[in-house]
Structures are given as C-alpha cells and as structure tokens.
Amino acid sequence: MRGPRGTIPPSPPPGAALTSPDLIVVGAGLAGLALAAEAATLGLAVVVLDPEPTRPWPNTFGVWLDEVAPDLPLAHRWSTVEVAGRGWRRSLDRPYGLLDRPALRARLLDRLERAGGRVEQGVVAGATHDERGSLLALRDGRELRAGLVVDCSGHAPALVERRGPPSSAFQVAYGLVAHIEGHPWQGDTMTLMDFDGPPGDGPATFLYAMPLGGDRVFVEETILVARGVPDPGALRPRLLRRLQAMGLRLADEEEEERCVFPMDPPPPVLPQRVLALGAAASMVHPATGYSVAASLREAPVLAQALVAGLDAGPTAASQAGWQVLWPAERRAAWTVLTYGREAILSLSPAATDDFFRAFFAMPRAWWVPFLSGRLTARQAGAMMARMFLEAPMSLRLALSATAGSPPGLAALGAMLRP
C-alpha cells in the first residue's frame, strides 16, 4: 500500500525494495519528466524510472512558439520561417524556437525534486494490476507498487499494449552542427523545409537549417516519411552534395545527429491500466512527425486528470487519463491525418515538391492547425479538399490514386461520422 499522498521515503539502497508512490513514470525523457513534474507539483508522490537517468536528451527539439508555454528555455529563436522548393520560396510569419535541452531537463528535474519526487535507475520487466494499483517488476529483481503507472519510454514502449501491425513508415534525418563559412542562413530566419536540392535516388528529401550565430549552423537532411527503416547515415553524402551544390564547405563539425522514428505506430488499446504520454501513447503526428509540443501541452492536463481520478481508484483514473489523451474526436482527426501521410508516401519527389508548394500556399488559418494536429476530422478533410481543388492537375491526378485506398476510405468515414 502507498503511504500518505505526496510523501516518498528516502531512496532505498541498491537491491532493496522500492517504496510505493502514487505514480510511477517510466522514462525520463521530455514527456516523462514533464508529466512527473506536473503531477508532483499537484501533490502526488512520484517516482520516475529510467535505465540511464543521467543520460542527456539526444535529439534536437524544434517547436512552433505559439504551441508551447512562453517561458520555456530556448537555445535560439527565429521570428520567420522559410519553406522552399524547385522554383518557389515562401516566408511564414510564425516564430520558431530551438529548445534548450539541458536547461529544460534541469528545470523539470528541479520542479520534480522540489515537490518531493525523484528519479530512480531501473529497467521495467513487466507489470500486474489489481484493484489497489499496479506492481512493477524490475530486471534487477526489485518490485515497486504504485497507484498508477504512465509509460513514457518512447517509440518502443515498455508496458503499453498496442493493437495493429508494426510500424512500416519512418521519418529519417541526418544532421550536423557545424561551422560553414559564407552560409546563407543569416539573421532571424530559419529554413523548415527546402526541397530544392540535388537529385538523388529514393524518396524526396529536404534541408532543415537553423543559423546559430556567426558561421555556426545546424543543417539536417530529412526524409519526411518513407517505407522501411533507411540508415540515417546514408543521408550524409546527400547533405554534403547539397551544400557543395550551394558552394558551401564545412569548416568544422561539432555535433552529429541521427534520427529515425515511426510515423505509423500502432494505436494503444483503449482503455488500459497503464497510461502513456508522448511517443509511447502513439501521439506522433501521422503527417508531420511532430510530438514534442503535444507532449508538453498534454502533460499538465493529464496530471490534473490523474489527481482527480485517483480518489475513484486506479481503473477510473486510467480511464480518465486515456480520455484526455485520445477522445473520440482526436482519434477521428488522426484517421484523416493518417490518410495525409499515406498520400505523401505515394508521391514522387517532384510531386512531393508540388504538394508542399500547394500546402503552404493555403491560408495560415488552414495549415497552422493541420501541422499541430489541433483540428477536427472535418476540418482536416476540408483543408485537404480545398488544397486538392487549388493544386495543379498533375498533383491532383497523383493524389486521386490514393482516394479509394483503405486509409482514404477510413478518412472519409471519420469525416462523415457524427
């Protein structure tokens, strides 16, 4: 049994049984620490379990600033974003930021610890559940009982039950923080997508570029979505060819980033006793890959639902939590966005360029909520229909080929559902 809510005895020595908090969060990444800090601040006794609690967060976190809290620590901020392709370029008056990962991690850990929570080293082996809560078995033989468990362990969740085939579509990127003499990405503008690169085999790729001051810049070659799991390192030669074609040369390389994550994770079984947040909850936007802002946005809402629900018991609390994360309307919208992903997958590199030229020619009021996933199924469908009608005929023909596919028919059903 857990003790009084909000109290956790001191950390036990290695090999000893862990104490019983109100909430166990599995995973000390961004989603896990954001939720843990919120829940602890609201009065829950929280323990975070992670195989490597002190490991720095590895990937770059870029966010639209109108989707996150204004006080988040930023490494850089740009007031303007550019998108471009072959023969076109568009400036988007929408601020974008690069999260300061060490500072954000330190802030969340500080909030958690000040509220009485802590992070423990541990690898989860399994969980069982009863009317009192959940019992976690760790690989080192320890056991930990808690009222609720939330899995925030990423794209391959430790405890969440999912339904459906394994992922087959992935976003892949290879990036460098480097010094590039005479680079064109100056001032207060970053490049979100630039498809105007040298031709190459395979799916379309685009350049993502963030000027970091002086000749220092983060450049990344990205495949938005492709079947299979391409090697991120295979994008390095393409990135270097792109820079060479622009007349640019790397003077120094400070940091390398390799990124692969699924764009079509199986949906979680709803409801289930183990909750999740972030990638573990399959919250990756099906057509863009975004999830960071959604995790930060949902963490306080989920924490409040768990605090309110625990008094009614762990089953009721987990059901309330899943309703916060995956209400029926959001599931319907995701079905439509999934069709958007499948449509992009069907396009040639030239048609992909045409697609994004047409997409960003849409009014801001249409593409902003589409990118964030904060829209209804009908709104997503209406935007797709408007873009289709205004697209060039060649792109219409390419998109029409997917309309009768299973994802296309599922999207139509989601849009027509009351």
DSSP secondary structure, 362-395, as one string: S-HHHHHHHHHT-S-HHHHHHHHHHHHHHS-HHH
- pLDDT tens per residue, range 304-352: 999 999 989 999 999 999 999 999 999 999 999 999 999 999 999 999 9
Quote the DSSP letter at residue 268: B
Q: How confident is the model at residue 59 (pLDDT cuts 50, 70, 90)?
A: confident
Distance CA 98, CA 257 (A): 15
Distance CA 31, CA 52 (A): 15
The reported pTM is 0.93
pLDDT > 90? residue 228: no
For residue 156, give the 3-state DSSP assignment.
coil
Give the torsion through C-alpha atoms of 283, 289, 292, 296, to 10 deg: -40
Q: Tell me the sheet residues that pair with 90.
A: 83
Query: Which domains does the chain possess?
Result: 23-57+99-164+265-326 (3.50.50.60), 169-262 (3.30.70), 329-416 (no CATH)
pLDDT > 50? residue 16: no
In angstroms, the Cα distances linking 312 to 134, 161, 303 are: 15, 23, 15
